[in-house]
Amino acid sequence: MYSKVRGFSLIELLIVVAIMLIIAAIAVPRFLRVKNSANETSAANSLRQMASASTNYYSRFNQGYAGSLGQLGPPGPSCASLGSDCADLIDSVLSGVLPAMATPVKSGYTFTYFAPNATPSPPSPNNSYAIVAAPVIPNSTGVSTFCVDNRGVILRDRSGMVTTAAPSGCAASWPVGGSIGPL
C-alpha cells in the first residue's frame, strides 16, 4: 500500500554542497586572473591604437601631437566637423567623447593623456605626449599599468604603482628596470 520514497539525506546534501564550494574556490580566482589578463591585453591594444593615431595626427596637422584624447576622437557635442579639434582617429570611447569623460574608461582601465599644450598650434606645437592606462580598481580590473609616448614603446609596470607620466613622455616617471619594462 504505502511505498517508501527515499530522498537525499542531510549528509549527502552537505557533501554535494562542499564539492561545489571546492570547485568554486578553484574556478573563481582563475576566472579573475583570466579577466585581468583580458583587460590588460585590451589596454595595451588600445594604447597601440592611440599611439598610431597620435603619429597620424602629427603627420596630418601642422601642430605636433594632439593636446587631448578628444582631439584624436570623432566629432561630438563640442566639435562639429573633422579637423585638428576632432580628427576621428580613435573611437568615441577612447577619446572620451561619448560618454563625455575627461579620463576615458575602457575594459576596466582609465586612459590619461599628458601633453605640454592642451591647444597646440603651429607656433607652439606639441613635440611630445604620454598616455597612461591604469586599472580602475587595482588588482580587480587589472594589475599592471601601461604608458606609451611619442617614441611608440609601450612600457608596463607590473607592480601597478606608477599611474602618471610627464607631458615630455614616459621616461621621467617610468624608469626601465625592476617591475617596469617594455611590452
Residue 1 has pLDDT above 70, yes or no: no
Please report whether residue 24 resides in a domain.
yes
Q: Residue 105: pLDDT above 80?
A: yes
Instruction: Provide the whole-model pTM.
Output: 0.84
The answer as to whether 74 is a domain residue is no
- How many domains are contained in the chain? 1
Side-chain half-sphere of 163: how many Cα atoms within 13 Å?
Answer: 12
In a domain, 89, yes or no: no
Residue 107 falls within a domain, yes or no?
Answer: yes
Residue 75 in any domain: the answer is: no
**97 within some domain:** no
Domain that holds residue 108: 10-62+102-182
Eight-class DSSP state of 125 = -
Q: For 26-60, write each residue's pLDDT tens digit.
A: 998 898 899 999 999 999 999 999 999 999 999 99
Question: Would residue 3 count as lying in a domain?
Answer: no
**pLDDT of 78 strictly over 80:** no
State the CATH number of the domain containing residue 165.
Answer: 3.30.700
Whether 170 contacts 148, CB under 8 Å: yes
Q: How far apart are CA 18 and CA 25, in angstroms?
A: 10
